[in-house]
Amino acid sequence: MYRFYWVLMMTALGHNCCRAQEDPLLFRIAKYKDDKTCAISYTFDDGLREHYTLVAPKLKALGFRATFWINGSKINPGAGAIKDTTRMTWAELKEMAKDGNEISNHGWAHKNFGKYNLEELREDIARNDSAIYHHIGIMPSTFCYPNNAKTPEGVRMASEHRVGTRTVQHSVGSKSTPQNLQQWVDTLLRSREWGVTMTHGITYGYDHFRAAAILWEHLERVKALEDQIWVGTFHDIAAYTKERDLLQYDIRTKRGGFVITPRLELDEKLFTEPLTGVIEGKGIRNLKIRQGKKKLKLRVTADKVLFDFNPYGGELSVTGAGLGGR
């Protein structure tokens, strides 16, 4: 379960307090960053050059970040050494990474997990990890299965020392229409789920769109819903959801407020996403939240306060005018 829901009955409240005595504050961990309703990760397979020339500029203009799964053996060494005009160069991938996109592992040679033994696959994945780290400067922490072929043993192996692997995906390409893409988004909003797309070609290659405008118009519609939808890389959302699900915490009252003590037993070098905390209640104001010596930035609405915190960072001290605690 992702929720850990606590009711904080504030006592001994003064006339300046934001809460009525009989009205509790509710604390929880947001299902998604910024308490969005659902989440989407756009992922693009195979390192096609139009991911750099068409997709990356569109994402940047919208303020979105995506995940690009690549096969190192297919990437061009540089602008002066183009062996495949349909694929990107390492320099182009590095530029995309600097813009916040995730460049991650789709296998060095796109080896099907149903046709090779585990040791061959392990070597192929490690080789691609090393190439990406060498050229991009960031070690991949996710994985995407070539041909979407999986075995239980292969999934266990590929998942070692990673935030997650793409095991479920929604194909976006040749069969996509404005209508079925909108239906998919509507379903995510209703179900409060995380959707992961799989896209290959845009104007050429495997499963490319009948018209690229179908994708661009879809992205624009999602942008218009950004108050409800978190668009993030596969890494970021996979890390957030696992941290959220495994986080435990205690709450105790103190004079002038209360203290939340989070506990998370994950590799904090791998799982690095801040979590969003939510304090709910109408008319909340004058709250201050610190984690250690750091004063956290609050986002206040009519009925809740949002704040991001480090799940490994120790106690969260919540204070405010009229918050009693004894």
In the chain, where the domains are located? 6-36+249-320, 38-226
d(Cα 309, Cα 293) in Å, to the nearest integer? 13
d(Cα 270, Cα 133) in Å, to the nearest integer? 15
pLDDT in tens, 197-213: 999 999 999 999 999 99
pLDDT in tens, 230-268: 999 999 999 999 999 999 999 999 888 899 999 999 999
Strand partners, 54: none
Task: Of 29, 30, 99, 110, give the one whose Cα is nearest residue 70.
Answer: 110
pLDDT in tens, 107-126: 999 999 999 999 999 999 99
Fill in the amino acid letter for 140: P
CATH number corresponding to 38-226:
3.20.20.370
Hey, is 54 helix, strand or coil?
helix
| DSSP class of 9 | -
| pTM for this entry | 0.91
The pair phi, psi for residue 14, each rounded to 5°, is -90, 175
d(Cα 105, Cα 135) in Å, to the nearest integer? 13
d(Cα 275, Cα 34) in Å, to the nearest integer? 9
What tokens does 98 get?
């600097």
Element (H, E) at 219: helix 213-224
HSE, side-chain direction, 13 A CA sphere, residue 233? 24
Mean pLDDT by 10 residues, the chain (326 residues): 42 29 73 98 98 98 98 96 96 98 98 96 98 98 97 97 98 98 98 98 97 98 98 98 97 90 96 96 82 95 93 94 49
HSE, side-chain direction, 13 A CA sphere, residue 320? 23
Query: ∠ CA 67-72-75 to the nearest 5 degrees?
Result: 90
